[in-house]
Amino acid sequence: MHRLRHIFILILVAGVAALVVLGLRPSPLLVDTEAVSRGYLAGTIEEEGRTRVRDSYEISAPVTGHAARILLDVGDTVQEGDVVAILDAVAAPTLDVRSVAQARALVEAAKSAVSQAREEAVAAEAAARFAQEEYRRLQPLGAEGLVAFNVVDAARADADAALARHRSTLFRVKTAEHDLAAARTALAFAGGQDPGASGRIELTSPVSGRVLTRHFQSAKVVQPGEPILEIGDPAGLEVEVDVLSADAVRLEPGMRVFLERWGKPEPLEAVVQRIEPVGFTKISALGVEEQRVLVIADLVGKQEQWARLGHGYRVNARFVLWEESEALRVPTSALFRHAQGQDSEWAVFLAEEGRATLRPVEVGRRGGIASEVLSGLQERDVVVVHPDRNLEHGMRIRVQ
């Protein structure tokens, strides 16, 4: 009995000691892990951009005039040659007698020039008809030898010259008529009265498209160069993205761009068309001055995919700097610099049998979420992501 009692006490003491040791041993460190995998990897730059019509045309007032009320709304479709705005002559200034007189004199001179050009055209037509008839009369005589060949050749040359002079006079008639129309418009806008001048200018659309901007709607007096409408074709969209100048030098024309968060889950594809050579200063949301550069990208693919996009819509542009289809990927958050004497190298912590194992690795291209591993790891290895600064080689870990 006495011996059994001693054995029991020894066992009890050993159990208490074991419990004390287990209680004093540090608990496993909670960690997050992720497996090394092989697949697509790309380096990207992401910035915010907006769409814009590639070719837009701003219609402005050519002279001072009274613009009629604009009946078109933003988004309305117009065809090439459609009248989009009308300018009427403004009331002439009270003391602008000299301008009116000069404009009337120009109209009268233009009328005289038109009459003269038309009379010259009639005379040239008669001369050309006579020369043609003379040539046709001498041509059979020359064939029979009754008239020398040089006489026939001279008649043909005279006929050709007469036709050329007739065409030249017709061109002068067109020119004179255009000058008369311009003089009548100038007279109307100077406040004079001319029976052949309406005092109205009709501004037409240079292209087929839609109204992008209407600078005003109600009738008003406009000055020369004042914008009235902006017209463009939304089917010809491009994207402008302002990126940091340090990122712009990494971009090249032809690079792939994915446009995301534009309204639908599937991204749109585009290509870099040009990087503008001039930067500008922009204040960031944090109040920091940044040098940025505009990058222009062209949408590719079928227009039906982005038919709902319009001018000035917001998109997120992701520029693909490089890409690889079968890269050995490790989470970038698992990488850290490990000191080796005076140097340092990339390393990760492997999660092996409940313990952290320090493993140096050789890193290739680095991406935002994942990076390429050239050596040191194999596919399906489990690494610790966001390793704690207190984590050391051989320390017990537990996946949370």
Range in 164-168, 209-213, 280-284, 336-340 with the lowest mean pLDDT:
164-168
Fold observed for domain 29-41+327-399: 2.40.420
3-state secondary structure 73-100: CCCCEECCCCEEEEEECCCCCCCCHHHH
Q: Cβ–Cβ contacts within 10 Å for residue 216, how many?
A: 14
- The mean pLDDT value for 118-126 works out to 87
- Whole-angstrom CA distances from 88 to 82, 199, 256 are 18, 6, 51
Residue 88 CA to residue 188 CA, distance in Å, equals: 9
pLDDT attached to residue 185: 66
Question: Is pLDDT larger for residue 172 or for residue 32?
Answer: 32
57-89+206-232 CATH:
2.40.50.100
Indicate the SS3 state at residue 283.
Answer: strand
pLDDT attached to residue 242: 93
Residue 69 CA to residue 390 CA, distance in Å, equals: 74
Superfamily for the 44-54+234-325 domain:
Efflux pump adaptor protein, beta barrel domain (2.40.30.170)
What digits encode the pLDDT tens for the residues 43-81? Answer: 889 999 999 888 788 888 877 788 899 999 998 999 888
Residue 70 CA to residue 85 CA, distance in Å, equals: 6
Q: Cβ–Cβ contacts within 10 Å for residue 49, how many?
A: 24
Range in 42-46, 76-80, 150-154, 212-216 with the lowest mean pLDDT:
150-154
- The mean pLDDT value for 197-219 works out to 82
Residue 129 has pLDDT above 90, yes or no: no
Task: Work out the pLDDT band at 274, boundaries 50, 70, 90.
Answer: very high
Residue 21 has pLDDT above 70, yes or no: no
167 contacts: CB under 8 Å, gap ≥ 6 = none
pLDDT attached to residue 47: 93
For the chain, the residue count is: 400
Task: Work out the pLDDT band at 349, boundaries 50, 70, 90.
Answer: very high
Residue 374 CA to residue 362 CA, distance in Å, equals: 5
Residue 375 CA to residue 136 CA, distance in Å, equals: 96
Range in 235-244, 253-262, 338-347, 354-363 with the lowest mean pLDDT:
338-347
What digits encode the pLDDT tens for the residues 220-264? Answer: 988 888 999 998 888 778 899 999 999 999 999 989 999 999 988
302, 246, 310: which is closest to 279 by C-alpha? 246
Range in 89-98, 204-213, 351-360, 366-375 with the lowest mean pLDDT:
89-98
Residue 137 has pLDDT above 90, yes or no: no
Task: Work out the pLDDT band at 190, boundaries 50, 70, 90.
Answer: low
pLDDT attached to residue 286: 84
Indicate the SS3 state at residue 324.
Answer: strand
- The mean pLDDT value for 198-206 works out to 76
- The mean pLDDT value for 96-125 works out to 81
Task: Work out the pLDDT band at 95, boundaries 50, 70, 90.
Answer: very low
Mean pLDDT of the chain: 82
User: Which position has the token pair 């037409």?
Assistant: 204
